[in-house]
Amino acid sequence: MQKSESLAVSATAIQKIVIVGGGSAGWMAAAGLAAGHGLGKTPGKDGGPSIVLVESEDIGIVGVGEATIPPIRQFNQQIGVDEAAFVRATQGSFKLGIEFVNWGWQGNRYFHPFGTYGTDFDPVPLHHWWLRERALGDATPLDEYSMAWGMARRGRFSHPTRDPKLVQSTFDYAYHFDATLYGRFLRAHCERMGVQRVEARVVDAVRCSQTGHVQAILLQDGRRIEGDLFIDCSGFRGLLIKEAMQAGYEDWSHWLPCDRALAVPCAHAEGKGGGFTPYTRSTAHAAGWQWRIPLQNRIGNGTVYSSAHISDDEAATKLLAHLDGPPLADPRPLRFTTGRRKQAWVGNVVAIGLAAGFLEPLESTSIHLIQTGITRLLALFPDREFSPLVRDEYNSITANEWERVRDFLILHYHLTRRTDSDLWKHCASYAVPDTVQHRIAHFRAFGRMVAYGYELFQNPSWLAVHIGQGNRPERWDPLVDQRTHVDAQARLASLRRVIGQAADAMPGHADFIARYCPAG
């Protein structure tokens, strides 16, 4: 066969993908699938499946997810998005991590950085040397060995260097952005790639009497759209995965009791809240917590709370009393039950985003779970036979990922010493999953992290929360006492000095944006 000849498309190949719902989830799914299977070509041509997205502008989107984690950079690169153009279009800013306030106890503050703690100067991990020096009287917080925090607390930002010998290579970053604008940005990007958008409200699904698969969706205006593979991005409603396919739901609210949120933007105010910070802040209060996310044109704020411990009106009053500047809208309510679908893929329907489940935005994972759902679908892309082997593998990996993220969130709630409210007393005393309890006990006894296969949050993330919220190890690695030739005190002091010098040499966050990606 000549190289110029095209291979015939299999008779069982997916020919048409129908995405139900827009917003970040719908348009990320469209972009990922178009880039992944269109291979830069127009979907529906050259053997690629056609992609149709159905959404209604009459249906609001949640759109509160304004903070992200570093893997989103890889997703944007894979779909061909230019970083500066994306940040400009979404009123975006940069994020080096999350500052947690009042989580361990009243007055407690610590930073969850993107990246590592310094550079390991010895085979024994750095934090064990820090533990030993602390026992000898050095009160330097662990945060001071993080390049990300060195930049964040000074309000500085620059791209990391690629030279692994430099401390400027040890941090990572993500973004803050307006999720509604991100959806619009991706829509334009997808339409340029050939994705077809249909403005309509979906009212029902038609299922095959023999296979149970969805054959078509019915629109309010009477139209019918058929497809081979259906992606449910309809949000909490779960129009296909819940209503049509009856996927079931696994409720995790006994571990993560917050069940409501309010979101409100406010204006920037000079000198308030630390200014235009290159990081997110999460501040715990008696019945939940409040977020602060600075964008170029405003600050995104919200509160996540337990309705069993505070009323909606009280939560709104508390939120509005802790804004940097005047509110730019009324607080927007959101109700949820933390958990996931028992099966994210049923038949020929795959749920992405809120249709697949909900984990509160404490560690900014909502958009990431959309991203990995799409990536996993591409890795296990089916044909029209929809083999149970493929579906079951997708569901197994998805369940494991969601459970490991759930465990990390539980860690924040359970590692608290607060006794000032019923919520925190409950969180400190409830029985956590065995996977969480083992990690807490192992770190407390030995200062070591244990893991369960691949995990989104790696050792530095768990270390930040363990130490930040007071789960101090009873001992350091025994090898520390054996390695008497290591001058840890000098090494740690040098690391602090180098981090400070490197951060001081970087531009301010606002200055970097003004030069690189200012919004119109």
Q: Is 433 within 8 Å of 413 (Cβ atoms)?
A: no
Could you count the other beta carbons within 10 Å of the beta carbon of residue 360? 18
Q: Is 168 within 8 Å of 160 (Cβ atoms)?
A: yes
Domain 16-66+178-253+338-386 class in CATH: alpha beta
Contacts of 515 (CB under 8 A, 6+ apart): 507
291: which strand partners?
282, 302
The domain limits of the chain are 16-66+178-253+338-386, 116-170+404-509, 260-335
pLDDT at 61: 53
| Ordered alpha helix ranges (H), 210-328 | 312-320
Tokens of 495: 């690391």
**Strands of the 50-55 sheet, one edge to the other:** 196-199, 50-55, 16-20, 229-232, 349-351, 345-346
What's the N-to-C CA distance of the chain in angstroms? Answer: 52
pLDDT at 2: 47
Residue 67: φ, ψ to 5°: -115, 145
Question: For residue 295, which of 265, 321, 270, 332 has the smallest C-alpha distance?
Answer: 265
**Segments of the chain with pLDDT less than 70:** 1-9, 37-47, 59-65
- Specify the 3-state DSSP secondary structure of 387: coil
Could you count the other beta carbons within 10 Å of the beta carbon of residue 90? 25
- Scanning the structure block, which residue is given the tokens 């008696």? 286
Question: For residue 495, which of 140, 252, 207, 224 has the smallest C-alpha distance?
Answer: 140
The residues assigned a catalytic role are: 95
Question: For residue 180, which of 260, 337, 295 has the smallest C-alpha distance?
Answer: 295
Helix axes 434-446, 388-414, angle to 10 degrees: 50
Question: For residue 247, which of 395, 380, 377 has the smallest C-alpha distance?
Answer: 395
Tokens of 184: 């619009």
Q: Is 157 within 8 Å of 95 (Cβ atoms)?
A: no
Which stretch of DSSP H or E encloses residue 344?
Answer: none
Q: Is 284 within 8 Å of 103 (Cβ atoms)?
A: yes
pLDDT at 459: 95
Could you count the other beta carbons within 10 Å of the beta carbon of residue 223? 12
Helix axes 434-446, 459-468, angle to 10 degrees: 70
Residue 197: φ, ψ to 5°: -105, 135
Question: For residue 29, which of 288, 397, 349 has the smallest C-alpha distance?
Answer: 349
Separation in Å, CA 152 to CA 71, 110, 460: 19, 12, 17
What gap in Å lies between CA 311 and CA 315, rounded to an integer?
A: 6
Contacts of 60 (CB under 8 A, 6+ apart): none
Q: Is 207 within 8 Å of 244 (Cβ atoms)?
A: yes
Question: For residue 299, which of 279, 283, 318, 316 has the smallest C-alpha distance?
Answer: 279
Torsion angle defined by CA atoms of residues 435, 438, 439 and 445, in that order, rounded to the nearest 10 degrees: 180
